[in-house]
Structure 1
Amino acid sequence: MSSLGTNTTSSNVDAINAIQHSKILFIKVWLFTMFACGIVGHTLSIYVFTRRSLYSNPCARYFLASAMVGMAVVVISVPLRLLQGAYNIDVFVRSVAICGILTWILNSIKALPSWIIVLACADRLVLQSIN
């Protein structure tokens, strides 16, 4: 009877290890895919919005700024999440001050591209009300 309990415990541990391994593999694949798609997408947006014909348009400047900040978000945030999720390296646990500062900076940077697009919409509304 004790050998049955040991065998069951061993198979449970093996199942838990397999789930942990598949979770880490999924995190690595997902974050590398997000990183690659983010870099390619933002690079193409920056390429498009730096065309001379679009540069005179104020909204294109807002979208260019949004793409640049979005690229910064991808370059900063995704590797941090990869270190945390896949390699168990957490830069936020060094000190309370570093944790607070990094959290504030990352949350501010993540929200910035959306607010830049809101500014582009507001700019369009203001220009339409003037004309």
Structure 2
Amino acid sequence: MSSQSTTTDYINSLQLTYKYLFQYPGSIMLVLGFVGSSLSCIVFNKKILRKNPCSIYMTAFHISNLTQIVTLILASVLSIGYGMTIVTRTLGLCRFNLYTAFALDVLSPSLLILASIDRILVTSPNALTRQRSTCRRAYISIVCVTLLWLLFHSHPWFLMSVIQLAPDVFICYTQSPIYLSAISYYTVIKSILIPSLLASLGMLAIKNVHQLRFRLVAPDVLTMGTGKGRSIQSFHARDYQLVRILLIDICVYVMCTYPQTAFNLYLQITQSNMKSADQIQADTSIQYICSFFGYIPYCVGFYTNLVVSKTFRNEVKHIFLCK
């Protein structure tokens, strides 16, 4: 009896934890994320930054984050934090919510990967390699990657349904066990591969930056995205600022998605185990908590950029001063 009571208390604590996380910090994070992503899009489109290919990638990244905030994160806060489930009211909303969840969850880090590759190119000691970092290549890469993931993740439009579990209790789910198994494996692979790739690219960019500190490299017109001459110091300073912004975004993403990655591995390993109702409730509660931390990278980019980049801070000041 004592053991059962302890288990019940543990599950109740988990349920209250994820409810209050989404209800209070989640609501604050939602508002701050919407404001921050909007301002980030404006900053990276300022004249001083928009000619840089990395700024184009970062603008697309924050647009993707903004879309995720007003679709998936808003729906999660309303549903988990306040019990206002709207995505199961119609089949269209159900499928749209899952479609955006699948697509944007991969699109945002993919844009970070593209930005990382751009920073690796622009910090390369080889002048020909640096010339590959162009605005035209950035636009083409963004369009191609966006279309790829939007098409690749179109499966929820056909395979997801609204299922009734009890009176007035509906969920978005699939009735195909094969599809469910495929999603499980895909989620685990994605949650391991993307953070690992981002971490590797980030370390390679750091290595290039470290090497460039001891080299004198003349700026290229193509790399700078403009025909106007600028000093070597100015060129390096601006690109190093963007490298710092990118690296902090990568660090936040990897750290915040690690709990979800670990829990996805646990679910995959234990999927064949027989679990009690209490275990299922506990797993669901922990999954909600992990997903909350997974939403953080999409909402805090603006504020971490303020901390690490003087150029970013100055441009934000200019926005509020209407300069």
Match of 2:56 in 1: 61
Aligned-pair CA distance for 1:38: 0.4
What's the CA shift string for 1:52-91, capped at 9, x where partnerless? Answer: 0111100011011111111111111222012211333434
Task: Describe the SS at the equivalent of 1:78.
Answer: helix
* Uncovered stretches (5+) of structure 2, i.e. residues with no partner: 1-8, 130-323
* Distance change in 2, residues 1:102/1:118 (3 Å): same
Aligned-pair CA distance for 1:37: 1.6
* Distance change in 2, residues 1:22/1:59 (3 Å): closer
Identity across the alignment (%) = 22
- The one-letter amino acid paired with 1:65 is A
Match of 1:47 in 2: 42
* Distance change in 2, residues 1:89/1:121 (3 Å): same
Q: 2:98 aligns with which of 97, 103, 121?
A: 103
* Distance change in 2, residues 1:119/1:89 (3 Å): same
Task: Describe the SS at the equivalent of 1:90.
Answer: coil
Instruction: Determine the C-alpha separation between the residues in 1 that align with 2:87 and 2:35.
Output: 28
Q: How does 1:22-101 map to 2 (within 5 A)?
A: 24-93=19-88, 99=94
CA RMSD of aligned residues (A): 2.9
* Distance change in 2, residues 1:73/1:98 (3 Å): closer
Aligned-pair CA distance for 1:95: 6.9
Aligned-pair CA distance for 1:124: 3.1
- The one-letter amino acid paired with 1:115 is S
Instruction: Determine the C-alpha separation between the residues in 1 that align with 2:70 and 2:92.
Output: 23
Structure-2-length-normalised TM-score: 0.31
Q: How many residues align?
A: 115
* Uncovered stretches (5+) of structure 1, i.e. residues with no partner: 1-14
Task: Describe the SS at the equivalent of 1:52.
Answer: coil
* Distance change in 2, residues 1:123/1:37 (3 Å): same
1:114 lines up with 2:126 in the alignment = no
Structure-1-length-normalised TM-score: 0.67
* Distance change in 2, residues 1:125/1:34 (3 Å): same
Q: Which structure has more helix as a fraction of its residues?
A: 1
Instruction: Determine the C-alpha separation between the residues in 2 that align with 1:26 and 1:120.
Output: 31
Contact 2:87 2:94 in 1 (8 A): yes
Instruction: Determine the C-alpha separation between the residues in 2 that align with 1:40 and 1:28.
Output: 19
Contact 2:72 2:100 in 1 (8 A): no
Aligned-pair CA distance for 1:106: 1.1
* Distance change in 2, residues 1:43/1:95 (3 Å): closer
Instruction: Determine the C-alpha separation between the residues in 1 that align with 2:17 and 2:56.
Output: 43
Instruction: Determine the C-alpha separation between the residues in 1 that align with 2:18 and 2:49.
Output: 44
Instruction: Determine the C-alpha separation between the residues in 2 that align with 1:95 and 1:36.
Output: 26
